Amino acid sequence: MKKDKAIIQTDKVKNPDVLTGKYVVPSEDTNPINLENGAVINIGELEDTEYGRDTHKIYKVTNDTLDWGIVDDPATMYDERLDERDYEVSPGQICRCRRLKKGDEVTISLLHIADKSIAVKDKLQLKSDSFQFEKLPTADAKTPVAEVLELWNYEGQDSVTIKVL
């Protein structure tokens, strides 16, 4: 049985900041993963591409990440048997991303949360060396980037709605 890929809901994002990203994997990463919608990304520098549009390099989140967002790529399918649950981004591929801003609310798969024991009102931070959020420990001095609003099942997928702080 095939595994469905993560899906995303962005109905409550006003004035979206959408950008084109190219998934770049450092040479020392010998086991890269494919990205699914909702994956948390580090938005890097612009790169010249043959497409003639501004394209940012996107990477794993690090401790130094200041510019971040999520993969939000509508699957353009030419096979009517496929849908957004069949879609993922491989290293080197170009995809659509979304830079999230204060007040944005999105629903993403729980796959993109490192700590599955989250609850409503928990604060989240970016998890270093990953494409995920993690629960902010209460004693941590870091500033949270998001808050959990709801845990629910969206279109058959265990999901979490978050609000960017």
Is 51 within a domain?
yes
Residue 57 has pLDDT above 80, yes or no: yes
Is 16 within a domain?
yes
The pLDDT of residue 69 is 98
d(CA 88, CA 23) in angstroms, rounded, equals 11
Q: At 59, phi and psi to the nearest 5?
A: -135, 180
Is 3 within a domain?
no
Q: Is 112 helix (H, G, I), strand (E, B) or coil?
A: helix
Is 70 within a domain?
yes
Residue range 65-83: mean pLDDT, rounded:
82
pLDDT one-digit tens code per residue, 130-139 = 999 999 987 6
Is 1 within a domain?
no
- pLDDT confidence tier of residue 59, bands split at 50, 70 and 90: very high
Residue range 113-141: mean pLDDT, rounded:
92
Residue range 138-165: mean pLDDT, rounded:
91
Q: Which domain does 55 fall in, by range?
A: 9-164
Q: Is there a contact between 137 and 118 (Cβ–Cβ < 8 Å)?
A: no
Domain count, the chain: 1
Q: Tell me what percent of the residues of the chain surpass a pLDDT of 90.
A: 70
Is 4 within a domain?
no
Is 136 within a domain?
yes
Residue range 69-81: mean pLDDT, rounded:
79
Is 38 within a domain?
yes
- pLDDT confidence tier of residue 78, bands split at 50, 70 and 90: low
Residue range 42-70: mean pLDDT, rounded:
91
d(CA 104, CA 39) in angstroms, rounded, equals 16
- pTM strictly above 0.75: yes
